[in-house]
């Protein structure tokens, strides 16, 4: 009984570690955090041997689908990232790509059992088994600078049955893999498909760890007819009556010797607004005070210590 309790406590402890957080965002988390813009490049295929699949393209496409399922990222179309067309959406966009995902496939095929103690530990006492094996290297890059943030080796091995006897198999028809589409439900039921799924899951976990969670920060999207348009609506849980103070765009603080970015500084409050209408993707706010509102200015929830003056006719421009 004590052993069972200890195992349960261990599982609960591991589940609370930073590296074990849920990969998929809940609806509440989607509203709370900003979705970084990423693009996934076709993987370079260095694996020996040939298949009828386009492994580089197919692996990238499968990784894209998994990343979209996390609801953490805005993923651009791999085929035409320059078009800035959002994968899975009909909405065009203008924000720059923040992260690029690349990879190299180093192994893709079948291997036989290991030697000695390794074979015993795998339960293959007589060395008669073969395994589906896939190996790859994942890279996460900061898109603007090209700096490699993560370089991680990924691999997976799944038991694929007995090693075939060449004398008995020489007249056998082509392997059933030749009739499958890469990434299909049938493919993922095979040993090679299961190994591929494990590597893709590892890749998603590494990407989640590399790209930190970034809280959503509402901003001025535009100014129209004396009202401020905010870049968040019901999808960001904006509410009518909520007030914000407006500050200029954050200014980067850089080290004069190295050029490294040390942080960001926000300017003084330039105005205050109140949300009067909330749509699905954006909100409309009336100006309580202030002028010279511009797209990109940052909004912060107002509190009693922030200045509050009587509304006055604002001097604003439309964008």
pLDDT of residue 274: 95
Specify burial of residue 268 (Cβ count, 10 A radius: 0-12, 13-18, 19+).
exposed
pLDDT of residue 285: 97
| CB atoms closer than 10 angstroms to residue 197 | 18
pLDDT of residue 214: 77
Give every CB contact of residue 303 below 8 A, 6+ residues apart in sequence. none
Percentage of residues of the chain with pLDDT beyond 90: 44
Give every CB contact of residue 243 below 8 A, 6+ residues apart in sequence. 272, 273, 274, 275, 288, 301, 302
Would you give the DSSP letter of residue 319? -
pLDDT of residue 157: 92
Residue 281 pLDDT class (50, 70, 90 cuts): very high
User: If you average pLDDT over residues 118-131, what whole number do you get?
Assistant: 54
Is the pLDDT higher at 259 or at 184?
A: 184
The pTM is what?
Answer: 0.66
**Which of 111-125, 217-231, 302-316 is least confident?**
111-125
Domains and CATH numbers, the chain: 24-214 (3.40.50.10610), 217-301 (2.40.10.410)
User: 3-class DSSP state for residue 136?
Assistant: strand
User: 3-class DSSP state for residue 252?
Assistant: strand
User: 3-class DSSP state for residue 141?
Assistant: strand
Quick one: tokens of 221?
């999207």
Backbone angles phi, psi at 34, to 5 degrees: -80, 145
Is the pLDDT higher at 316 or at 126?
A: 316
pLDDT of residue 29: 82
Q: What is the pLDDT of residues 101-110, one digit of tens each?
A: 999 999 998 8
User: If you average pLDDT over residues 119-127, what whole number do you get?
Assistant: 44
Quick one: tokens of 9?
């406590």
Residue 318 pLDDT class (50, 70, 90 cuts): low
**Which of 20-34, 141-155, 241-255, 263-277 is least confident?**
20-34
């Amino acid at each position: 009984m004590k052993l069972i309790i200890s195992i349960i406590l261990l599982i609960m402890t591991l589940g609370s570690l930073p590296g074990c957080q849920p990969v998929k965002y809940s609806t509440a988390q989607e509203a709370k955090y900003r979705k970084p813009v990423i693009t996934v490049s076709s993987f370079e295929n260095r694996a020996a041997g040939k298949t009828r699949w386009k492994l580089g393209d197919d692996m990238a496409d499968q990784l894209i689908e998994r990343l979209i399922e996390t609801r953490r990222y805005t993923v651009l179309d791999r085929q035409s990232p320059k078009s800035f067309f959002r994968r899975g959406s009909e909405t065009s966009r203008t924000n720059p790509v923040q992260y690029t995902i690349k990879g190299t496939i180093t192994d893709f095929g079948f291997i036989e059992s290991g030697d000695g103690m390794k074979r015993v530990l795998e339960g293959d006492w007589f060395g008669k088994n073969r395994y589906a094996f896939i190996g790859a290297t994942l890279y996460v890059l900061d898109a603007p600078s090209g700096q490699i943030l993560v370089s991680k080796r990924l691999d997976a091995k799944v038991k694929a049955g007995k090693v075939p006897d060449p004398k008995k198999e020489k007249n056998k028809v082509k392997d059933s893999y030749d009739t499958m589409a890469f990434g299909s439900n049938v493919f993922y039921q095979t040993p090679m498909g299961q190994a591929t799924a494990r590597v893709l899951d590892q890749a998603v976990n590494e990407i989640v760890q590399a790209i930190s969670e970034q809280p959503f920060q509402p901003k001025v999207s535009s100014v129209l007819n004396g009202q401020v348009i905010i870049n968040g609506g019901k999808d960001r849980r904006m509410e009518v009556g909520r007030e914000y103070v407006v500050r200029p765009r954050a200014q980067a603080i850089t080290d004069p010797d190295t050029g490294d970015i040390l942080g960001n500084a926000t300017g003084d409050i330039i105005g205050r607004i109140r949300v009067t209408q909330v749509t699905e993707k954006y909100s409309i706010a009336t100006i309580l005070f202030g002028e010279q509102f511009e797209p990109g200015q940052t909004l912060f929830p107002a509190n009693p210590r922030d200045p509050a003056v009587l509304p006055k006719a604002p001097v604003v421009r439309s964008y």
